[in-house]
Amino acid sequence: MSARVCLLAAALLGALAPAVRARGENDEDVASPGLIPAGSFMLFYKTQGPLSFVAMTPKDRPKGARELGTVKGVSCQHGLSIPISADVRGTSITGAYGNGSFVKAIERIKKEKPEVVGIYDVRTDLRIFSLLGIYRRLCTEVTARAFALS
């Protein structure tokens, strides 16, 4: 009887194995853009947000690379929403502007430290600030280790 239970358990685990995957595995094919949310009546919307970024690892650095330490770049989008109704779920006139993309954050890193040739070990965060739902700011923060070539 015990052998049957073990065999049944092994068959069940074998059937479930293809459906289970490691956390973080194949995440590169699912992206969630970080665009600032818009409201009801949109007057203006010109924003860019992060989607995905493929980064180097320490072993991908070129030979002879000189460490520059940790660097940080921030890029933001801004939104304004003016309510036109006293109702809590009322309509509003909105607008949004800004470049909160990875590209802009990395440009800021390179502007601060022109010697940066590349980055690796990249970590990103999205920071949201909202003031009474009228003003919103969505910032992409990129923190990475940088290198230069000798």
DSSP run (H or E) holding 99: strand 92-99
pLDDT tens across 10-61, in order?
Answer: 444 444 444 444 444 444 544 456 777 776 777 777 777 776 777 888 888 8
CA–CA separation, 114 vs 72, rounded Å?
A: 13
> What mean pLDDT comes out for the span 61-83?
90
The residue assigned the tokens 């440009």 is 107
- The answer to whether 84 and 91 are in contact (CB under 8 A) is yes
Which residue intervals of 1-150 are DSSP H helices?
2-16, 102-112
User: What pLDDT shows up at residue 59?
Assistant: 86
Residue 57, both tokens = 């690892």
User: What pLDDT shows up at residue 32?
Assistant: 56
**Would you place residue 90 in the very low, low, confident or very high pLDDT band (cuts 50, 70, 90)?**
low
User: What pLDDT shows up at residue 113?
Assistant: 92
CA distances from 74 to 68, 96, 122 (A): 18, 18, 13
Higher pLDDT, 19 or 101: 101
> What mean pLDDT comes out for the span 69-89?
84
The residue assigned the tokens 């000189």 is 66
Q: Indicate the length of the chain as a whole number.
A: 150
DSSP state for residue 64 in the 8-state scheme: T
Single pTM value for the model: 0.67
User: What pLDDT shows up at residue 22?
Assistant: 40
CA–CA separation, 129 vs 77, rounded Å?
A: 11
pLDDT tens across 105-147, in order?
Answer: 999 999 999 999 989 888 888 889 988 888 999 999 999 999 9
Q: Domains plus CATH for the chain?
A: 32-149 (3.30.110)
DSSP run (H or E) holding 72: strand 65-83
User: What pLDDT shows up at residue 74?
Assistant: 94
